C-alpha cells in the first residue's frame, strides 16, 4: 500500500485527468447515440413505454449481476475489466449500425443490445470507481467527484445539439460512427497511457469462496448503520426518480409540443447546464459542514424544482428553468455520497461495496422505468382524457390533453420525493455520514 500512496503523490491528478478526459469523450459519443435512439424509438411507436423500455433493459442486467460483478472487480485487474467491457459495449453500437445499414433495425434489437450493454456496465462501473480511487490522493476525493459531475454535465449539454447536428448531416448512421470513433480514442488512451495500480487481495479473501467474498460487502455495510440506511433510502429515491425523470421526460415534452425535438433538445441541454454549474461548485469549492444536510437538502430541492415544475409547466421557458434548477444540486449530492463511501471504506473492498451499493440502491430503477411507462400509457393518460370532477380539478395543476397524465406522475413523485428527504434530515442514524477520518 505504501507504494500506491507514493505513486499517487508523485503523479498527483495527472493520470486521473487523462483518463477522465478520454472517458468523457467516449461517454459523449455513447450519449449522442442514446439520445438519437430514443428519438428513433419514440418515432416508431409514439408511446412513453417505448422510451421507458429502453432504459429498463439497460438497467435490469446492471442491477441483477452487480452484486457478483463487484467481487470479480476486486479480484481481477481493473484496467482489463474496463477495456473488455468497453469493447463489448462498442460492439453493440457496431451491431446497431450494421442492422441500420441493412435496413433491418427493429425496436426489439435495441432492447437486446441494451441488455448486453447493461451487463457490461455492471462490471465496468465498480472497476472504474476503484480505479479512480487508486489514481486519486485522498484529499482530492470531493474535487474528483465534482470533476466527474462536471464532465457528465458537459455531456448532457452537448449531446442533444451534437446528436441533432450529426443526424442532420448524416443521419443515425453518422451518430453511431462518431460513437465508435470516440470509443477507439478512449480505448487506446486507457490501454497505452494510463497505468492503473493494482491492490493485493488479502490472503483471507483468496481462501474464501466467491459467494463468501460477495456477501462480505453486505456484512460490512450492515455494521455501518448510517451508510446502510442511506443506500436503502436512495433505493426509494431512485424508484420515484425513475418513474418520471429522464425516462418519461422526452415523452412529456414531445407529447406537449407536437414532437418538437428542438424544445426537447433545449430542455435536455439545460439539464446538463444545471449539472455543469453544480459540478463547478463541487469541483472548486471545498465541501464543508454537514455532508448529511448537503445530501438530503440537495435531493429534496431537485425533486421540488424539477419534477413539480415540469408537471405544472406549459412552456419551454419553465421546463428549461426547472431542468437547470433541478440538476444544479445533484453534483453536490453525488460528491457528498462519493466522499463518504471512498473515505470510510477500505480500498481493497471498494469493488464489492460499490457493487453491493449498486444492487440495493439501484434495483428499483428498472422497476421505476417499467412502472412509469405502464402508469403513463395505461392509467394516468387515459384517466386524464376522460372528463370528471377530479380530472377537472387535477387539470388546473397539470393541464389537459396529451401529456397531462405524465405530468401528473411528475407532480406526485416530486411532492413525495421532497417530503421524504426533509424527513431524513431528522433521522439521527445519518449522523454517521458526517464522520471524517483523518486525511493521509
pLDDT in tens, the chain (440 residues): 444 444 555 456 888 999 999 999 999 999 899 888 888 887 787 777 877 788 788 878 877 887 777 777 777 888 999 999 999 999 999 999 999 999 898 989 999 998 998 888 888 888 888 888 888 887 787 778 778 877 877 887 788 888 888 988 888 899 999 999 999 999 999 999 988 887 665 544 555 566 676 677 788 888 888 889 999 999 999 999 988 876 788 889 989 998 888 898 889 888 888 988 888 888 777 666 788 899 999 999 999 999 999 999 989 999 999 999 999 999 889 888 888 887 888 877 777 787 788 788 888 888 888 898 899 989 999 999 998 999 999 999 999 998 999 999 999 999 999 999 999 998 888 888 877 665 43
Q: Which residue is listed with cell 394516468?
A: 380
What global pTM score does this model have?
0.73
- Delimit the CATH 1.20.1250.20 region(s) of the chain: 7-193
**The CATH number fitting domain 7-193, selected from 1.20.930.40, 1.20.1440.230, 1.20.1250.20, 3.40.50.11540:** 1.20.1250.20
pLDDT at 213: 67
pLDDT at 440: 39
Q: Count CB neighbours of 439 within 10 A.
A: 9
Angle between helices 404-424 and 225-243 (to 10 degrees): 170
Under a CB-based contact definition with an 8 Å cutoff, are residues 115 and 366 in contact?
A: no
Q: What is the CATH number of domain 208-439?
A: 1.20.1250
Pick the closest to residue 34 from 148, 160, 133, 154 (CA basis): 160
Dihedral (CA of 305, 309, 311, 315) sign: negative
In whole angstroms, what is the distance from residue 404 CA to residue 264 CA? 17
pLDDT at 2: 44
Residue 33, burial from CB neighbour count under 10 angstroms (0-12, 13-18, 19+): buried
Return all residues near 359 (Cβ < 8 A) that are at least 6 apart: 63, 66, 67
Dihedral (CA of 176, 272, 164, 406) sign: positive
Amino acid at each position: 500500500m505504501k507504494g500506491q500512496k507514493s505513486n499517487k503523490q508523485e503523479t498527483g491528478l495527472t493520470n486521473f485527468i487523462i483518463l477522465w478526459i478520454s472517458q468523457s469523450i467516449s461517454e459523449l459519443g455513447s450519449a449522442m447515440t442514446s439520445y438519437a435512439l430514443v428519438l428513433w424509438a419514440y418515432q416508431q411507436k409514439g408511446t412513453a413505454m417505448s422510451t421507458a423500455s429502453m432504459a429498463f433493459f439497460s438497467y435490469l442486467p446492471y442491477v441483477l449481476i452487480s452484486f457478483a460483478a463487484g467481487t470479480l472487480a476486486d479480484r481481477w485487474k481493473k484496467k482489463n475489466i474496463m477495456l473488455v467491457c468497453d469493447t463489448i459495449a462498442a460492439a453493440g453500437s457496431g451491431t446497431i449500425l450494421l442492422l441500420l445499414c441493412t435496413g433491418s433495425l427493429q425496436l426489439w434489437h435495441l432492447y437486446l443490445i441494451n441488455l448486453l450493454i447493461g451487463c457490461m456496465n455492471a462490471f465496468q462501473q465498480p472497476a472504474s470507481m476503484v480505479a479512480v480511487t487508486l489514481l486519486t490522493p485522498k484529499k482530492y476525493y470531493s474535487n474528483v467527484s465534482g470533476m466527474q459531475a462536471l464532465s457528465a454535465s458537459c455531456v448532457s449539454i452537448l449531446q442533444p445539439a451534437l446528436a441533432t447536428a450529426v443526424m442532420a448531416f448524416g443521419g443515425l448512421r453518422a451518430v453511431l460512427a462518431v460513437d465508435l470513433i470516440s470509443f477507439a480514442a478512449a480505448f487506446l488512451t486507457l490501454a497505452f497511457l494510463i497505468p492503473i495500480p493494482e491492490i493485493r487481495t488479502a490472503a483471507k479473501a483468496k481462501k474464501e469462496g466467491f459467494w463468501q467474498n460477495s456477501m462480505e460487502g453486505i456484512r460490512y455495510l450492515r455494521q455501518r448503520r448510517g451508510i446502510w440506511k442511506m443506500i436503502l433510502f436512495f433505493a426509494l429515491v431512485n424508484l420515484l426518480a425513475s418513474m418520471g425523470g429522464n425516462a418519461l421526460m422526452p415523452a412529456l415534452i414531445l407529447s406537449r409540443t407536437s414532437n418538437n425535438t428542438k424544445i426537447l433538445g433545449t430542455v435536455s441541454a439545460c439539464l446538463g447546464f444545471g449539472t455543469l454549474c453544480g459540478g463547478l461548485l463541487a469541483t472548486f469549492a471545498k465541501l464543508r459542514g454537514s455532508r448529511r444536510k448537503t445530501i438530503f437538502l440537495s435531493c429534496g430541492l431537485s425533486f421540488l424544482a424539477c419534477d413539480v415544475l415540469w408537471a405544472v409547466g406549459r412552456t419551454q421557458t419553465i421546463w428549461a428553468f426547472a431542468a437547470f434548477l433541478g440538476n444544479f444540486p445533484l453534483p453536490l449530492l453525488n460528491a457528498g455520497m462519493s466522499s463518504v463511501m471512498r473515505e470510510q471504506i477500505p480500498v481493497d473492498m471498494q469493488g464489492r461495496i460499490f457493487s453491493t451499493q449498486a444492487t440495493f440502491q439501484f434495483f428499483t430503477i428498472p422497476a421505476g422505468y417499467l412502472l412509469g411507462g405502464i402508469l403513463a400509457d395505461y392509467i394516468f393518460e387515459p384517466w386524464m382524457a376522460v372528463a370528471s370532477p377530479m380530472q377537472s380539478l387535477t387539470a388546473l395543476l397539470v393541464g389537459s390533453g396529451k401529456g397531462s397524465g405524465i405530468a401528473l406522475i411528475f407532480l406526485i413523485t416530486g411532492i413525495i420525493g421532497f417530503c421524504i428527504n426533509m424527513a431524513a434530515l431528522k433521522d439521527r442514524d445519518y449522523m454517521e455520514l458526517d464522520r471524517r477520518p483523518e486525511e493521509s
